[in-house]
Structure 1
């Protein structure tokens, strides 16, 4: 077998985080190899389905707001460099039953960091968006500067830019194993071994396939989204991206883009999935369409038309729904990025930058302390699951 060249960094998993990291590394002149089991963008991970929300008013650790603001800047830069529309500033309307969830914490953090966010009561919401059918108990936090990203376009743009800067990409190449020592990493694939000084592991819902080299507290779950026939009130340009939390659970969605229908998904619940298992297609469970339709009929009746399309994807949850961005517990030259828990895509531009920072200079200006793997050590301070409405998309 021919000897493969030695790379500075090998990236295992070229989805949203991995492809972004590949771009940020290659543009700095780092010899970079990306390896993916499929051909990104693809439908075997967490990045397909056309759109993802990008918003900035997060609760919890302030690091999220800082990352979201930096991510926005980097998406705009990628859009300019690629010449492709990636981001639509549609605004995002966060709706919730006040008996279930309060936006107070997020509004306070937004004000501290000068993120524009408006608090609206049910009357104000209905006045601005008359097609919504909301009871008096509902309130909203509207982010006028937020919007949505075209997810597959984002992956494609970073792929093209990474390759243009000299990165290499191996597609349809499953990784069988990873071995490492300080200063050296070997990635074993069905097509042979690849050697690098360092590695980034960003395998998403497929992290369990890298065991026993790394074992992370990540659970992959099956998720569904559906596109429903809707009235003109819900067309892009008239209706924003949205999240919705109530007794029914936590949901998120997008306006009808080009007549495709309003898109809606559920953030909480989901059937556990493991690498190698079949992923049941949309419609296999009554709840696939049923949960989505019940919410639309209750709150957005004009968007509860015929199901136009359904899709399935995967979330990769950590126990507390916060990310993992850290070094391997045994090998400092192996970086880990996973557990993005259904709300991580918007951050992939800045996560890629962070991984490049760590690989090249050993540190990053971003605060990644909340994403340390050590927080999952057993003990009284072990993180607890968040409420299902805490962070959506």
Structure 2
């Protein structure tokens, strides 16, 4: 069967791309090895932070601001509440690149940001205990995205726009010959004029079929929910947070709907083969202890573990994204290597991928995410 565009990988970026392509009138097929949203992607675990004064670099700010516009559009189109404006508190030592990049980004783009010392942080949020040499950067307009619901919403709209979604179907072979793309699954063959590869942890093996060897490393990550005092940590009173500490970079969420305090560690993790069984939360000795230790240090008190989950990061060497056209095939767009901080951008990345396919260029500057840097 022939399509205008085939999207391989219908998770965060792919589902959004499929919607924008179908909306533009392209006959679109999305293929996924699982049934999105699912527990084998980077989107797993209910929620993700969205912040604008970006610690990872100012080049991300236009992309995330566009993404937030599109998240609001998605809420209007589906009638779902997908964004909670909890604010986001970023914490660290003042002179670090992490904190200075946040302050610099806020100034460059005139973003709301309260820079406050440790004493003020401790007064404003009684559930936090910061040492004196830390400061906080609070973004009042940032917050939390319901990640799995976002994918469900884009899936709903993509189908409404006429997209076909083929789930639980693993792609076995991809080939490109001029303006023709062939994609084979276990038992079906499809052709198209163009291709989007947005397959998360499986991107490296799929792109190797197209002669492209990107340095992508899938990593197992964990996060967990802890019982916590609702009067201190409820989402109407407590922000999402990112803490750069001497032990590592941690992030977390307030208690949303009585779910408890959710905490994860951004750095570290174990490299995996995504085709093999991934240990569940608690199967590795360090899973719960590391997170509990962080809480005891910065949010002390009795916080029993409720449960934990795993997800997959796919890291690039510089932990920056890959969003680009294939260097040899102008009809193949690639989104990969989101390195554990990509979900918030996925609405804008999906739109950018559709623009790359339709016109060969994106309205947003994607040059920082070029394949050429590798």
With normalisation by structure 2, the TM-score equals 0.97
Contact 1:100-1:247 at 8 Å conserved across structures: no
> Deviation at 1:259?
1.4
C-alpha distance in 2 between matches for 1:274 and 1:352: 26
Contact 2:325-2:333 at 8 Å conserved across structures: yes
Once the two structures are superposed, the pairs formed by residues 29-178 of structure 1 within 5 Å of their partners are 29-59=25-55, 61-98=57-94, 102-178=98-174
C-alpha distance in 2 between matches for 1:16 and 1:355: 12
Between the two proteins, the alignment pairs up a number of residues equal to: 371
Contact 1:184-1:198 at 8 Å conserved across structures: yes
Gap regions ≥5 residues in structure 2: none
Tell me which residue corresponds to 2:240. 241
C-alpha distance in 2 between matches for 1:357 and 1:12: 17
Tell me which residue corresponds to 2:209. 212
C-alpha distance in 1 between matches for 2:333 and 2:348: 15
Residue 361 of structure 2 aligns to a residue whose secondary structure is coil
Residue 319 of structure 1 aligns to a residue whose secondary structure is coil
Tell me which residue corresponds to 1:366. 364
C-alpha distance in 1 between matches for 2:265 and 2:274: 22
Tell me which residue corresponds to 1:194. 190
Tell me which residue corresponds to 1:10. 6
Residue 162 of structure 1 aligns to a residue whose secondary structure is helix
Contact 1:220-1:317 at 8 Å conserved across structures: yes
Contact 1:99-1:137 at 8 Å conserved across structures: no
Residue 174 of structure 2 aligns to a residue whose secondary structure is strand
Contact 1:209-1:275 at 8 Å conserved across structures: no
Contact 2:93-2:99 at 8 Å conserved across structures: no
Residues 18 and 96 of structure 1: is their aligned pair in 2 closer, same or farther, counting only changes over 3 Å?
Answer: same
1:269 aligns with 2:256: no
Tell me which residue corresponds to 1:383. none
Contact 1:208-1:274 at 8 Å conserved across structures: no
> Deviation at 1:61?
4.5
Residue 221 of structure 2 aligns to a residue whose secondary structure is strand
Tell me which residue corresponds to 2:258. 259
C-alpha distance in 2 between matches for 1:368 and 1:129: 38
> Deviation at 1:231?
0.8
Contact 2:11-2:43 at 8 Å conserved across structures: yes
C-alpha distance in 1 between matches for 2:108 and 2:329: 38
- C-alpha RMSD over aligned residues: 1.2
Residues 370 and 92 of structure 1: is their aligned pair in 2 closer, same or farther, counting only changes over 3 Å?
Answer: same
Tell me which residue corresponds to 1:221. 219
C-alpha distance in 2 between matches for 1:166 and 1:368: 28
Gap regions ≥5 residues in structure 1: 377-393
Residue 301 of structure 1 aligns to a residue whose secondary structure is coil
1:288 aligns with 2:249: no
Contact 1:100-1:245 at 8 Å conserved across structures: no
Contact 1:33-1:170 at 8 Å conserved across structures: yes
C-alpha distance in 2 between matches for 1:212 and 1:164: 32
C-alpha distance in 2 between matches for 1:202 and 1:134: 39
C-alpha distance in 2 between matches for 1:321 and 1:55: 17
> Deviation at 1:329?
2.2
Q: Runs of 4 or more off by more than 4 Å in structure 1?
A: 99-102
Residue 45 of structure 2 aligns to a residue whose secondary structure is coil
